[in-house]
Chains A and B, each alone.
Chain A
Amino acid sequence: MNDLTQSTLAQPKVVGQRTPRIDGEFKLTGRAGYTGELSVEGMLYGYPVAASIAHGTLERLELDEALAMPGVVDIFHHANFPRLHRSPNSMGHGDQVSEVRLPFEDERIYYHGQYVALVVAESFAQARAAAQRVVARYRQETGAISSLLDGAHDSHTEGELLEDSGTTRGDPEAAFAGAAVQIDAVYHIAAESHLQMEMHATLAEWRDDGSRLVVHESSQGVFYQRNAMARIFDLAQENIEVISHYIGSGFGNKLFMWPHAVAAAGAARELGRPLKLVLPRAQDMTGGGNRPASRQRLRLGADRDGRLNAVIHDSTTETSLVDRYVDACGSATPSFYACDNLAVSQRILALNHGTPCPMRAPGEVSGIFALETAMDELAVALAMDPVELRLRNYAHEDPESGLPWSSKQLDKCLHSAAERFGWAQRDPGIGAMRDGDEIIGYGMAACTWFAGRQPCQARVELRADGTLFAACGTQDIGTGTYTIVAQTVAELTGVAVADIEVKLGETSLPTGPLSGGSMATATTLPAVAAAVRDALSALKEVATGHGGVFAGVDADSLTVAEGALSDGERSHSFAEVLEAMRLSSVNGQGSSAPGEEKKQYSFRSFGAHFVEVRVDPSISRVRVARVVSSMDIGRAINPPTARNQVEGGIVMGIGMGLFEKLDYDPRDARLINANVADYIVPVHADIPEIDVELLDYPDFKFNEFGARGVGEIGLTGIAPAISNALYHATGKRYRDLPVTIEALLADHASG
C-alpha cells in the first residue's frame, strides 16, 4: 500500500467524496452555540439607541426616564463612553475594521442608524424597553445625500476618482472610436443588504481584573477582530481572545469588526461585568454593512465578426462619510475576454449611509452584471448567438497579466450547460417562445471569481485514544470548513472522519485566514495537511525510537494506512504506538502560504449560467423558471456542500436580479425598508428548478488538493443571465437592478 502522506492526492479516498457535515448534528438539534445564545455568569445586556436622522448633530439626550426603568444599569453615550483609540485599519497588518470611526466618538450624525447611546440592563427585555424610552434631540440638516442613484449624481464625473484603482492597456479610447460595432450603456445596481440570518452579536467579558478580554463574536475573521481590539483598547494581542464557533452566516459583513463590538467591550469594562449585545435587525441593516449601489458605464467596441477591440469600464460606487470603502466593480473585467485595448476606472462617492463593506463576490458581481449584459447587447447588435460571441473572445491566457491560466474550462462550462439547458432549441426572436399566456425568455452569462490564498497555520494531534484533533483559527460560516478539515486529516491518516475532532474559530488556535473571498479552502487545507505530516513524522520517530513498537526500523520506511503505521510485515495503530511509550499524544504543526505559483500562472474559477424566465404580460409578472449552470472550481472537496454554495449563490443572484434594494428616502437619506419584510429576498416559492454541475478539473498548480474555492462564483453572472432572458422575452433592455415589477409595469404601460 502506498504511503498516503506521500501521495499527490491524485486519487483521494475521502477528499472529493460526499461527507455529511461533522457539525450537522449540533446545528440540527439546537446545540450549536451561536454567539447570541451564549451566556456567562453575571452577564448584562446591551441595546443600542440608533439615530433617527441621517445628517445633522445630536443636540441632547434625555435619559432620566430610561435610567429609571427596571433593571437598567447604565446608559453610555458621547459624554461618558471611555475614550479609546482607533484601529490603524490596515489589511496588511491584520487590524482592518469595517468602520474606523469609534462608537460615540463625536456628536455628528453621519447616517441613519448610527449609535447615539447604549442602554445596559439586567435582561434583554429591560434593555430594549429602556432604549425605546431614550429621547434623542437632533438638529437635522438639509443636504443629506441619500443614494448614488438619487438622480442627482448620475454622471461619469461624480465622486472621487481613485487613481490607483484603474488599469489601462493599449489605446482603448481610439480603438472604441474606430470600432465597427459599438455598445455604450450605463448600468445601475441598487444597494443591497447582506441580511445574514443571524444579526451581528458580541459577548464581551473582561477577566483578571480587566487585564484580559474574551470576546465571542459572530465573525468571519477572529484574528482581525483581535488585532483591531488590541489597538483600540491598547492591550497586548495575547491578552485578547476572540471566539466564533458557529456563525449564522456573514456574506462579508462579518469579515471585519463593527463599532457595536467596541461599544459592548467598552461598556463591559466600565461596568466590570460581561455584556451581550445582539443588534436588532433594523440596526443590523442600517449600520452593519451593505453592498453599495453602483453606477457603471460600459463601452464595448468590436469588429463585424464580434471580436472585441475595446473594453472601457468606468464605475462609481458609494462609501460613507466615516470610512472609505471601495467596491471594485471592474476587477474581473481585464481578465475576462481577450482584448488588446482596455481601461477600467473606479470612483467613490461619500454619502449618508452606514459604511458599505464586501458582500459576496464584492465588486466583481456588479461588474459582471454590466459586462455580461453589454456582451448580450453586442450579440444582439451583431445578430450573433451570445454563446458564440463569448467563445470568439475567449481568453486562452490571462490578457491582463499575460500569464497562462492554471486551469480554465470555461468553454466546457458553456457547452455543457447549454446542452443541458436546451439552448439549441432557443428561437432568438423577441417574444417568440410562448407557453399559454406566458412569454418564455432564455438568457445566459459567463461568470468568474478570482482564486487566492492567504498564509495559514494549523495544528494536529494524534491521540492515544485513537482519535485525532485538528485546529486552525479560521471559521466555518456555513460553507463546511469543519468537515473539509476533517476530510483532509482522514485522507492523510486513514482514520475515519467520525474519529476526528476539529476546532476552529478561536484566536488561541494557530493563525487562520478570513472566511471570505472564496479563499478559506485553498488556504486552510495545505496548512492542515502539513500539520498532519508533521504529526505523523513525530509518531514515526516515537515508533522507531528506543522502546518503540518499531524500534530500530528506519522511520522513512514506515507507511501510513487506516490509522496505523506499517513496516510491510507488522502494523500498529497510532494508539498502540503511543500506548507503548506512555504518550498521551503527539503533536504536529503546519503552515502554508501562497508561493511562486502566482508568478507562473493566473488563477480564476469560471462558469456559465443559463436561465429561463417566464413573463406574464397581463400582470407584468416575471419568474425565474429554470437555472442550469456549470462551474469550473477545481476540485470540490465535499461535493454536496460545494454544490450547496453554488445553489445558494444562484438564489442570492435571483434576489439581486429581481428583488433586492435598500430604499433610502431621497428627502433625508433615512433607510425606509430596514426590516425583513420590506427588504425582499427570495423565499421558497421563488425558487426555480436549479441544476448545477461542478466540473471536476483539480487545479494542482494552485495547491495539492486542487481546490480553488466556491463561495462567491455562483452569485456572479446570475443577474445578467436574468436580464438577458428578459430582453429575449420582452425586447426591453433592463440595465438597472433589481428589475422590479414596477419597472416592468412602467415599460408595459409605455410600450
Chain B
Amino acid sequence: MMDDSVHSPTRRGTPAPTLNVNFTLNQQPISLEVAPNAVLLDVLREQLGLGGTKKGCDHGQCGACTVHVDGQAMNACLRLAVMCEGQHVTTVEGLAREGELHPVQQSFLACDAFQCGYCTPGQMMSATALLNDARIGSDDAAVKEAMSGNICRCGAYKNILTAIQQARATLADDATRRAGEGTP
C-alpha cells in the first residue's frame, strides 16, 4: 500500500512461529498449532476444513462468521484462535446432534428462511444463542433488533423471523414434554 511505513525484519526462510492452543470444538477436545495471529475464522475454514462458518467481510460487520464461544454468539473473524484456550466453541457443524437437525435448522428448512444459504449458518448461530438468552425479549421487535448484526443480502429476513419464532415454540414444547415426562 502507498506510504506504508510499517517495517518488519526480513524473515525469508525462517519458519513461521506457532503456538499451541487447546479448546473444545463441537464437543470434541482439540489441540492445534496455530500462528499467533491466526484468526479463528481462518483456522476453522482453512486449517480444520470446517467451511460452514462463512466469511462475508472479515471485519465484524456482517455476522456470517457467527459461532458460539462458551454459549455466546461471537464473530469468529474478530477472534484470534489462541484466545479460545480452554473454551467451548460451537460452529454450525455442531448444531445437529446424532444426525438430527436442531429445531432451528428444522424451522429454517420448513420456513424457507434462506436463499443462497451463505449468511444462514451465521443467522442460525445468532438465533440459537438468542433463544437461550433470557435478556432478549420474545416479541418480533426484540428478535429483529437482536438479529440485526446478521445481514442477509438475499433478503430472506421475513422467513428468518418466522423460523426463529417457530423454533422458539418447538423448543418450548420440547421443554414442556420433558418436564411432563419427569413427573410421575
| A residues whose Cβ falls under 8 Å from a Cβ of B | 20-21, 23-25, 27-34, 36-39, 49, 52-53, 64-65, 67-72, 123-126, 129, 132-138, 194-199, 246-249, 251, 278, 280-281, 477-480, 640-641, 644-645, 647-652, 675-677, 681-685, 687, 690
| B residues whose Cβ falls under 8 Å from a Cβ of A | 1-4, 6-8, 10-12, 14-16, 35, 37-39, 42, 45-46, 49-59, 61-62, 64, 91-93, 95-96, 101, 105, 108-110, 112, 114-121, 124, 143-145, 147-161
Whether the Cβ atoms of B152 and A197 lie closer than 8 Å is yes
Whether the Cβ atoms of B51 and A34 lie closer than 8 Å is yes
Chain B residues lying within 8 Å of A480, measured Cβ to Cβ, are 115
Whether the Cβ atoms of A126 and B16 lie closer than 8 Å is yes
Please, how many angstroms separate the alpha-carbon atoms of A39 and B48 in the complex? 11
A177 to chain B, nearest CB (A): 43
6 further interface pairs, Cβ-Cβ under 8 Å (given A27-B120, A123-B35, A133-B6): A69-B8, A70-B16, A281-B56, A647-B156, A647-B158, A675-B61
Point out which of A28, A52, A198 has the most chain B C-beta atoms below 10 A from its C-beta. Answer: A28
Chain A residues lying within 8 Å of B143, measured Cβ to Cβ, are 684
Please, how many angstroms separate the alpha-carbon atoms of A129 and B6 in the complex? 12
Identify 21 residue pairs between A and B in the complex whose beta-carbon atoms are under 8 Å apart, listed by A's number: A28-B92, A28-B108, A28-B120, A28-B121, A30-B52, A34-B118, A36-B45, A123-B46, A125-B39, A134-B1, A136-B1, A197-B152, A199-B55, A246-B116, A246-B117, A247-B116, A249-B154, A477-B116, A478-B154, A648-B154, A675-B61
B2 to chain A, nearest CB (A): 5
Chain A residues lying within 8 Å of B4, measured Cβ to Cβ, are 132-133, 135
B22 to chain A, nearest CB (A): 20
Chain A residues lying within 8 Å of B91, measured Cβ to Cβ, are 30
B5 to chain A, nearest CB (A): 9
Please, how many angstroms separate the alpha-carbon atoms of A315 and B39 in the complex? 47
Chain B residues lying within 8 Å of A651, measured Cβ to Cβ, are 155, 157
Please, how many angstroms separate the alpha-carbon atoms of A682 and B144 in the complex? 12
Whether the Cβ atoms of B2 and A136 lie closer than 8 Å is yes
Chain A residues lying within 8 Å of B46, measured Cβ to Cβ, are 39, 123-124
Q: Known: A137-B2, A477-B116. Contact between A196 and B59, CB under 8 A? A: no
B91 to chain A, nearest CB (A): 7
Whether the Cβ atoms of B157 and A138 lie closer than 8 Å is no
Chain A residues lying within 8 Å of B50, measured Cβ to Cβ, are 30
Residue of A nearest to B92 (CB): A30
Please, how many angstroms separate the alpha-carbon atoms of A455 and B159 in the complex? 34
Q: Known: A198-B116, A280-B58, A677-B59. Contact between A29 and B93, CB under 8 A? A: yes
Whether the Cβ atoms of A648 and B56 lie closer than 8 Å is no
Chain A residues lying within 8 Å of B37, measured Cβ to Cβ, are 125, 129
Could you say which of B62, B114, B147 contacts A27, with CB atoms under 8 Å apart?
B114
Please, how many angstroms separate the alpha-carbon atoms of A32 and B35 in the complex? 27
Chain A residues lying within 8 Å of B45, measured Cβ to Cβ, are 36-37
Whether the Cβ atoms of B101 and A29 lie closer than 8 Å is yes
Whether the Cβ atoms of B109 and A28 lie closer than 8 Å is yes
Chain A residues lying within 8 Å of B38, measured Cβ to Cβ, are 125
Point out which of A70, A71, A199, A251 has the most chain B C-beta atoms below 10 A from its C-beta. Answer: A70
Whether the Cβ atoms of A52 and B2 lie closer than 8 Å is yes
Chain B residues lying within 8 Å of A199, measured Cβ to Cβ, are 55-56
Residue of A nearest to B39 (CB): A125
